[in-house]
Amino acid sequence: MKMAKTGKKIKLLILFGGQSTEHEISCLSAYSVLKNVDRRVFDVRVVGVTKNGDWQPVTDVPLEEIKDGRWVSHVECGSGMAPALECVAWCDAVFPVMHGIMAEDGTIQGFFALNRKPCAGPGVLASAVCMDKVYTKIVLEHAGIPQAKAVIVTRPEVENNFDAVAAEVSEKLGYPCFVKPSNSGSSVGAFKVNEPAELEKCLRAAAEYDRKVLVEEYIDAKEVECAVLGNENPVASTPGEIVSESEFYDYDDKYINGTSSTRIPAAIPEEDRETVRKLAVKAFKALDCAGMARVDFFREKKTGRILLNEVNTIPGFTDISMYGKMLAYDGIPFKELITKLVSLAIEDFENNKRHLSR
């Protein structure tokens, strides 16, 4: 299957919502994608996933009601997946606009792989590894990519052996430090721990979101982001930066308070911007990504060190999201970007076909 130039439209399924803590962000992203998708190229159908896990076709619903979550009142929840599976069988390709666990972590990618449908973004392995911050660190360390120091903690260790955890954090990292769930996004469950007395409370709160928790050293840094686009020969965008008024760039600052702003290019030396680009592509390849990823970095204020923070395989597509903004700055408008991502998904699907018989 290839992107046809015969005038025949590609049947595109756009999937959004989901059961993760980023459900509302997915709705915002879906609104932007549906507003910008090129209807001359694509015949579009939409399936929404409710917070309870119901998959339902979403038809004849105003875009504003997808944006604010009212779309749920238009679907017949609890009616089974049959109508949604009809959309899956119908489509030529899938654009999942879903963030977080049960979506961005390889589960959705595996579902569409089983159904032999090209799916925008990285595949099962890369999605699962990138969603898990602990395993991302392991892969990137092997690839020689600089990162913040960290201590890995499990929920049982927090509950049964906290004193040993606290001693390791003090010895290896010191304070302040950051606590975050290994599998989460949009800074959900992330905390800055300023002193030892705060550690247990923050660890327990983070552990509500995942069995594994990452404790990282505090880096006094500027946050820099870079968009990567492509398959075998990915390219990195001009890096941008987040200017946040919060102590760190958390969920409220990203999506609720509206107090953050963006700057493209990032206000760092050109040689550092080039370092960010090179490391973004290196990480993308090391993690076996495809299609898209947003790679986030720290540039330490005191030393100028560039450290990789995390890799997002389905970055936000909201009006304020950096992935689309950085590529638009480089001359790829949003409408064109959506088309390109579907084309890359089809290309990657074809490249990964395997013989299944003996």
Give the pLDDT score at 203: 96
- Alpha helices (H) in 180-333, listed in sequence order: 199-207, 251-255, 270-286, 322-329
- Alpha helices (H) in 173-320, listed in sequence order: 199-207, 251-255, 270-286
Give the pLDDT score at 256: 52
Beta strands in the chain (DSSP E): 10-17, 42-49, 55-57, 93-97, 150-154, 177-181, 191-193, 212-217, 221-230, 235-236, 240-243, 261-263, 291-300, 306-312
Please give the single-letter amino acid code of residue 104: E
One pLDDT digit (tens) per residue for the chain, 358 residues:
556 556 799 999 999 999 988 999 999 999 999 999 999 999 999 999 999 999 999 999 999 999 999 999 988 777 778 889 999 999 999 999 999 888 999 999 999 999 999 999 999 999 999 999 999 999 999 999 999 999 999 999 999 999 999 999 999 999 999 999 998 765 678 999 999 999 999 999 999 999 999 999 999 999 999 999 999 999 999 999 988 766 655 555 555 556 578 899 999 999 999 999 999 999 999 999 999 999 999 999 999 999 999 999 999 999 889 999 999 999 999 999 999 999 999 999 999 988 777 7
Give the pLDDT score at 15: 97
The Cα 206–Cα 342 span in angstroms is 35
**Token digits of residue 317:** 């597509």
Which among 310, 334, 270 is positioned nearest to 134, based on CA atoms?
A: 310
Kindly report the pTM of this predicted structure.
Answer: 0.91
**Token digits of residue 145:** 């990519």
Answer yes or no: are the C-beta atoms of 214 and 148 closer than 8 Å. no
> Which whole-number Å values give the CA distances from 357 to 105, 117, 118, 277, in the listed order?
29, 20, 21, 41
User: Cα–Cα–Cα angle for 10, 13, 17, nearest 5°?
Assistant: 155
Number of H helices, E strands in the chain: 13, 14
- Bridge partners (DSSP) of residue 299 are 222, 306
Give the position of tokens 């007395």: 197
Answer yes or no: are the C-beta atoms of 222 and 268 closer than 8 Å. yes
Give the pLDDT score at 258: 60
Give the pLDDT score at 358: 72
Peptide bond into 239 cis (omega under 30): no
Fold topology of 150-217 = Dna Ligase; domain 1 (3.30.1490)
The Cα 111–Cα 311 span in angstroms is 22
DSSP 73: G
Please give the single-letter amino acid code of residue 292: M
Which among 105, 115, 121 is positioned nearest to 81, based on CA atoms?
A: 115
Answer yes or no: are the C-beta atoms of 81 and 55 closer than 8 Å. yes
Does the domain at 130-146+219-313 match CATH 3.30.470.20? Answer given as yes
The Cα 264–Cα 124 span in angstroms is 31
The Cα 247–Cα 37 span in angstroms is 36
Domain ranges in the chain are 10-120, 130-146+219-313, 150-217
Give the pLDDT score at 189: 81
b/e per residue, 115-147, with b = 16+ CB within 10 A? eebbbbbbbbebbbbbbbbbbbbebbeeeebeb
Q: Which CATH class is domain 10-120?
A: alpha beta
